[in-house]
Homo-oligomer: A and B are copies of this chain.
């Protein structure tokens, strides 16, 4: 990996110019960092393989958004789509190798989210109380 790809590069004086890493991270997160993508990845990481409607029920996502999200993730090479020509049709989704490598940071983020939801709620309550006064 090139030097330009390591995050802790503190050569520039803090706020001089736009940090190139942020620009690139931004690009990737714009693609795979939205909430539905993250949740689809988490679900597939948990269950291995899921059908369309299983994901739909699992996530509480609308049919439209799931369809769009899945197509994006397939296009980005994070998940795989296997279609069985049966009647009624059956389509299974699972993680690719890259999707699996995405699993770890995503799961860490998800776990942090679970661990800190209450803390955030508390912080918000305190903040709002102060602001009202």
Q: How large is the interface on A (under 10, 10 to 19, 20 to 34, 35 or more residues)?
A: 35 or more
Query: A120 an interface residue at 8 Å Cβ cutoff?
Result: yes
Q: What is the copy number of this chain in the assembly?
A: 2
Q: Is the interface of A mostly helix, strand, loop or mixed?
A: helix
Task: Name A residues whose Cβ lies closer than 8 Å to a Cβ of B.
Answer: 1, 5-8, 10, 14-19, 21-33, 35, 38-39, 42-43, 46-47, 50-51, 53-60, 74-78, 98, 101-102, 104-117, 119-120, 122-124, 126-128
Q: Could you write out 20 A-B pairs with CB less than 8 Å apart?
A: A1-B115, A5-B114, A6-B114, A7-B42, A7-B107, A7-B111, A10-B47, A15-B54, A15-B57, A19-B46, A21-B114, A22-B59, A25-B39, A26-B60, A28-B116, A28-B120, A32-B113, A77-B119, A77-B123, A98-B116
